[in-house]
Amino acid sequence: MLKGKTALVTGSTSGIGLGIAKALAAQGANIVINGFGDVDGPKAEVEALGARVAYHGADMSKVADIEDMMRYAAAQFGQVDILVNNAGIQHVARVENFPVERWDAVIAINLSSAFHATRLALPAMLAANGGKGWGRIINVASVHGLVGSAEKSAYVAAKHGIVGLTKVTALENATTGVTCNAICPGWVLTPLVQKQVDAKAAAGNISNEAATKQLLGEKEPSMQFTTPEELGALAVFFCSPAGNNVRGVAWNMDGGWAAQ
């Protein structure tokens, strides 16, 4: 379905981003991955699906890096047709104790990076398809783009901001072939969430399994994690012809979290 299209997925060397990159690769898209840590492993996983894969190590808190990444993606594959803004970090503290530099970093990586990548991707998307436009911008927000949680001020503010940016981007391009939507996962067992499970187990001197149940029980009625594969399938839907008129939604996959 996506043969000849190019998808750039930020923060895609693990977790949600890798899951989405693999789902788009399975549909025939060229993939540009981005992120820290092990690169060869994730790159091989995506290539195994038959995709052409390139990597750029942009630090998503730096505008110059993001600009360089977008130029690199265009040089590798022509242009970015599908942009998945997924890069994110977390810090937990009460507002009065929240380190200012951590606030700035969370906002830069979780929110501002999506704005910069979007503004850079839009011109080519709007010019595509003989000037009628074709593009998909998928912002990975969070259930925290819809509801709040204590001690997550920067993360919740950034994710609410992502939902707002999604709506504005969708409205500005509503008469074109470019759509913008947000995915709002609940708990997904990524390295970021595993750290929270480990911390809960250590703090309560309980098993990892008990800590997992405690974490899910606090927020997620389904008592199960959403998987990167499920989120990848939703991203594929947004890119399909059935998604042509899905514009500006914040689609939560959260096991009933926001329904409470």
Measured CA to CA, the distance from residue 232 to residue 240 in angstroms comes to 13
Contact 102, 155 (CB under 8 A): no
Judge contact between 113 and 10, C-beta under 8 A: yes
Read off the tokens for 32: 């540009």
Between the CA of residue 259 and those of 165, 192, 256, what are the distances in Å? Answer: 23, 24, 5
Tokens coding 45: 């996983």
Sign for the CA dihedral angle at 144, 150, 152, 153 comes to: positive
| Catalytic status, residue 72 | no
**Tokens 């190019």 map to which residue?**
6
How far is Cα 175 from Cα 245, in angstroms, rounded to an integer? 10
Identify the bridge partners of residue 30 per DSSP, sorted by sequence position: 6
Catalytic annotation, pick one of 55, 77, 134, 155: 155
Q: By CB neighbour count within 10 A (0-12 exposed, 13-18 middle, 19+ buried), where does 253 fall?
A: middle
Counted residue by residue, the chain has a size of 260
Phi first, then psi: what are they for 196, rounded to 5°?
-70, -35
CB 188 within 8 A of CB 197: no
User: Which residues form the catalytic set?
Assistant: 155
